Structure 1
Amino acid sequence: MPLPEEMTLHPSPKKWAFVFGVGILFCCGGVLLVIQQPGLMSWLVLAFFGLVAAVGLAMILSRRAHLTLHADRFEQSVLGRRFRYQWNEVSEFFVWKHQYNSLVCFDVAKDKSVLGRMNRGLSGASGSLSDTFGIDAEDLAELMNRFRDRSLMRSGDKPF
């Protein structure tokens, strides 16, 4: 199947509905905890799961979270933050599995930050996608690599 010149993917609403539901459920537990045992820890539990629910709701309602694959670059936007990388600035994409979670990871040539070094120590790469955007992580990594390979072939750039 030929690759389009541009493709935009959005996070799975089911996943974020689940996160929202779990946040609300634990918020209810936090309210009961505050009523029965008022104290700092009770309020922290309520605040944390309130934040989890708020992020879940924001991801459901906002269509601003996306991954757009262009011919020469990709762009990831999540919760108002946008990251752009040229295909020739990143390594091949691979899946890093940790317990029940899979992340699509990549290394960024110019990333010399402390966070980048820490990420490299954990996953072997300085960057990762924030979501799998409703696609299996292996399939997403393969799709990203196909876009990257096509871009490098067209431009004649050497792989990172």
Structure 2
Amino acid sequence: MPTTSPILDAATSNNRASIGVAIAINLPITAEPINAEASSGGQDATAAMPASTPQADELILYPNKFKWAFYVVLSIGFSWLMISLQSQHPAMRGWLAFGAVFFIFCAVVCAIQLWPDSAWLKLNGDGLHYSVLFRRFHYPWSEIKRFGIVEVDTQYGSESLVSFWVEPNDRCISLNDSFGKKPGQLVEILESHWKRACGDP
């Protein structure tokens, strides 16, 4: 009776952690960083972040720490598994070493998400602000056309990403995290702030 390869099991079980890491790394490519000269009258972009004086009707959300801590532990566990399998599969030593390094890299990226001020979502009168791996982005409410959920299909399932579309080219931007909320709940929160800012009751 055939047995399942432990390497395949590792790849399958770590699928969601890998998706989260990949999104966190690649997301900044789809968005434009805050222009330091254009924000806050030419002040540095870091001056208008959560450390600043809160505005009225301002909301700041942070990622689910338990989820990212779980990803850290999971990645470290699979890295240890890759290392331990090298003695049993000498012919695959190179691939297993690569897998161990990859999972260590995943653990580091996930750990950064737990670092204070690394990741957050801020909604205020100026628009939507968010940070991914200490990279900060800002979109005024007037540039946002709509919000929704994008389903990303993978080999082992699908991932629901909260997304929004911006002017002028109807570009879709997906958030790398739902910031402690379910995707549908976060969409409702975003739409509520967006409508109030645009004067739509």
Q: 1:52 to 1:109 in 2, by over 3 A?
A: same
Q: Give the Cα–Cα distance (whole angstroms) in 1 for the partners of residues 116 and 102 of structure 2.
A: 21
Query: 1:74 matched to which residue of 2?
Result: 128
What is the TM-score when the length of structure 1 is the normalising length? 0.78
Query: 2:185 matched to which residue of 1?
Result: 139
Query: 1:53 matched to which residue of 2?
Result: 107
Query: 1:32 matched to which residue of 2?
Result: 84
Q: Give the Cα–Cα distance (whole angstroms) in 2 for the partners of residues 102 and 8 of structure 1.
A: 21
Q: 1:138 to 1:39 in 2, by over 3 A?
A: same
Q: Give the Cα–Cα distance (whole angstroms) in 1 for the partners of residues 128 and 192 of structure 2.
A: 12
Query: Aligned to 1:92, what secondary structure does the other structure show?
Result: strand
Task: Report runs of 4+ in structure 1 exceeding 4 Å deviation.
Answer: none
Q: Give the Cα–Cα distance (whole angstroms) in 2 for the partners of residues 146 and 136 of structure 1.
A: 16
> Cα deviation per residue 1:13-58 (whole Å; 9 max; x = unaligned)?
0110111111011011121134443643122101110111111222
The count of aligned residue pairs is 139
Residues 112, 118 of structure 2: 8 Å contact kept: no
Q: 1:88 to 1:153 in 2, by over 3 A?
A: same
Is 1:105 matched with 2:157?
no
Worse-superposed segment, 38-47 or 84-93: 38-47
> Cα deviation per residue 1:112-139 (whole Å; 9 max; x = unaligned)?
8xxx5xxxxxxxxx10111000111101
Query: 2:198 matched to which residue of 1?
Result: 152
Q: Give the Cα–Cα distance (whole angstroms) in 1 for the partners of residues 169 and 134 of structure 2.
A: 21
What is the TM-score when the length of structure 2 is the normalising length? 0.63
Query: Aligned to 2:179, what secondary structure does the other structure show?
Result: coil
Query: 1:87 matched to which residue of 2?
Result: 141
Structure with greater Cα Rg: 2
RMSD of aligned residue pairs (Cα, Å): 2.0
Percent sequence identity is: 30
> Cα deviation per residue 1:54-83 (whole Å; 9 max; x = unaligned)?
112221233321000011211110102111
Structure 2 stretches of 5 or more lacking a match? 1-55
Query: 1:121 matched to which residue of 2?
Result: none
Residues 128, 140 of structure 2: 8 Å contact kept: yes
| Letter matched to residue 130 of structure 2 | Q
